[in-house]
Amino acid sequence: ILDRLLKVYKNDDDRPVKDVIRDKLIKNVRRIVVDEASQLTEAALNALILSFPKAQIVLIGDSKQLPPFRYSAGDVVSQLSGRSALEVCSAKQNLPVITLTRVYRASPQTITCFDFSRDRFNPSSKTRQ
* Helix, strand, coil percent values for the chain (each to nearest 5): 45, 10, 45
pLDDT at 124 over 60: no
Signed CA dihedral, 10, 15, 21, 23: sign only: negative
pLDDT at 59 over 90: yes
pLDDT at 56 over 80: yes
Residue 38 is given by DSSP the state: G
What is the arithmetic mean of pLDDT over 100-106?
79
Three-state DSSP at 84 gives strand
What is the arithmetic mean of pLDDT over 68-83?
70
Alpha carbon 37 to chain centroid, angstroms: 3
Q: Is 85 exposed, middle or buried (CB count within 10 Å of its CB: 0-12, 13-18, 19+)? A: buried
pLDDT at 58 over 90: yes
Q: What is the mean pLDDT of the chain?
A: 77
pLDDT confidence bin for 33, thresholds 50/70/90: very high
pLDDT at 9 over 90: no
pLDDT at 126 over 70: no
pLDDT at 77 over 80: no
